[in-house]
Structure 1
């Protein structure tokens, strides 16, 4: 009887451990890893650009290039922009429409569209992040790229990326 009880106990323990590992694996997969590095370069003498460049997936699995940069011109205040580049066929963005940034608390911020009429390519959006970035805590965000008829493409941004963006601005 004791032997049967111990055998059942070990099987239940093994089943519990396997279940936990499966759920942990699913949880880890739900957060994207984003590896990027901040680069600094001088495009023309006196003009310095600090840039973060990485790739993130939207809710449909399409990959987007996400580029945040701070540009410094001598005698001018720095500018901070976020450019989202979808690969061909991913989406056709409408301009000028603001980017919707949703914080983990549910608060929604908007970044103005830099392209007043149309983008050089239909799958590119560029947004002024000068006043937005200081308001972003280091927590998960969701970027809502506007599409026609009140639809949005949503891109999840992990906290590590927000932290990197903060580093770009602090340079």
Structure 2
């Protein structure tokens, strides 16, 4: 038992010292045909009411030029219903605020929304925690975005 505890302690110390390898990140590249490529980060985050949201941040590039940077939020069916069309409020810890316009690609589905984050990502120059204020039909709810997720988004945006 002592040996197992010692081994786990050493393993934990190594992870804390050396960090987590990049291979565990959830950033993926998808060739879409021709010279078009999509880069994507996929996470599951929980809002302030403990509801899980699938958060898909992706960038499309064609011919070496950024076509779009979008954020898709997907709640569980039967859960929170998003207000359509309505902008997404994005706030930093220092209270800088952006409003991201909703795209028109998925507005007919109540638990899914997609937002244009191209300008936001051009202005987001630091890896800082964010707060997304999700526009629900009857209210709004905050979805915290931790720094490691923001860092993935920045990596995707810089590709």
Whether TM exceeds 0.5 here: the answer is yes
Structure 2 partner of 1:138: 127
Aligned pair count?
Answer: 135
TM-score by length of 2: 0.78
Over residues 107-140 of structure 1, what are the superposed CA-to-partner deviations in whole Å (9 max), with x where a residue is unaligned?
2211011027x62421001000000012222111
Residue 97 of structure 2 corresponds to residue 113 of structure 1: no
Structure 1 partner of 2:116: 128
Structure 2 partner of 1:161: 149
Alignment of 1:13-162 (within 5 A): 36-74=25-63, 77-115=66-104, 119-136=107-124, 137-149=126-138, 151-162=139-150
Structure 2 partner of 1:17: none
Greater Rg over alpha carbons, structure: 1
Deviates more, 1:123-132 or 1:101-110: 101-110
Corresponding residue SS for 1:78: strand
Deviation (angstroms), 1:43: 1.8
Structure 2 partner of 1:170: 158
Structure 2 gaps, min length 5: 1-23
TM-score by length of 1: 0.73
More strand per residue: 1 or 2? 2
Structure 1 gaps, min length 5: 1-34
Structure 1 partner of 2:16: none
Deviation (angstroms), 1:163: 0.8
